[in-house]
Amino acid sequence: MASSAALSTIRSNCRKVMCIGRNYADHVKELNNQRPKQPFFFLKPPSSILLPSEGPVLRPSGVNLHFEIELGLVIGKRIQNLDTEDDGEILQYIDSYLLAIDMTGRNVQEEAKKKGLPWSIAKGFDTFLPIVGPISKSTIADPHSVELYLKVNGEVKQQDSTELMLFRIPRQLSDISKVMTLEPGDMVLTGTPKGVGSVVTGDVMECGLRVGGKEVEEARMRVE
């Protein structure tokens, strides 16, 4: 299937997007957050998904728009009450991988945090979830050994390996599945490494991922 048809299908089948927060130590520090004792999660709505052919991320007026590059999983098999820390065991539940940008209204989120309000608005605007892929499980043999990068106007802003995750994927999926069932088609975003920052209208984000130092072509994305 051509990548754009496959991505359209992935969007159509997606009923929830679960994102892990604060999953890389240096990113926790850069936002002056506390390092979590256990993974925590939030939802983005499927309506925020933006495919490569669909134009720019839209910055709502007054919003400080931040990028967060993340490795995404597309769930292939229902997960309920899973209990494992085993890397091999979780592969059966993953259909494929995505590269995703968890766009965030940082000032909206900061205000919500101060007031104890939900994050759904800060994280959920239309176009706030550019995705590219899918990337097959044969291409990414080990999801904990992938280099993610994101450049803004040619300058590298984020570039780190997924081996730096504080909570690895089996723990993430286990913890989510004890709260809510993961259904085929659901997406999980696995957190962002350090280097998040603002973009303004006209900026160009380019991102991708490397496996064993080699660029994976299906994961290249350019978003205005």
Whether the CB-CB separation of 44 and 129 falls below 8 Å is answered with: yes
Task: Give least dist CB 97 to Mg ion, A.
Answer: 16
What lies within 8 Å, CB to CB, of 151 at 6+ separation is 157, 205, 206, 207
Interaction between residue 106 and Mg ion (CB under 5 A): no
- Nearer to a copy of itself by Cβ, of 83 and 163: the residue is 83
What are the Cα distances from residue 2, in Å, to 9, 46, 130, 134, 135?
11, 21, 18, 10, 12
Question: Which residue lies nearest Mg ion, judged by its C-beta?
Answer: 102
15 φ, ψ (degrees, to nearest 5): -115, -15
Whether the CB-CB separation of 21 and 40 falls below 8 Å is answered with: yes
- Nearer to a copy of itself by Cβ, of 116 and 213: the residue is 116
Interaction between residue 177 and Mg ion (CB under 5 A): no
Interaction between residue 102 and Mg ion (CB under 5 A): yes
Interaction between residue 77 and a copy of itself (CB under 8 A): no
d(CA 191, CA 47) in angstroms, rounded, equals 20
What lies within 8 Å, CB to CB, of 170 at 6+ separation is 84, 85, 86, 87, 89, 90
Interaction between residue 68 and Mg ion (CB under 5 A): yes
Interaction between residue 167 and a copy of itself (CB under 8 A): no
Of the candidates 191, 217, 180, the one whose C-alpha atom is nearest the C-alpha of residue 16 is 180
Task: Give least dist CB 94 to a copy of itself, A.
Answer: 18
Task: Give least dist CB 5 to a copy of itself, A.
Answer: 20
- Sequence letter at residue 179: V
Judged by DSSP in three states, 134 sits in strand
181, 204, 214, 217: which one contacts a copy of itself (CB under 8 A)? 181
Interaction between residue 29 and a copy of itself (CB under 8 A): no
Interaction between residue 112 and a copy of itself (CB under 8 A): yes
Task: Give least dist CB 213 to Mg ion, A.
Answer: 25
Residues that bind Mg ion (CB under 5 A): 16, 43, 45, 68, 102, 192
Residues that bind a copy of itself (CB under 8 A): 14-16, 18, 21, 34, 40-43, 45-48, 60, 80, 112-121, 124-126, 178-183, 186
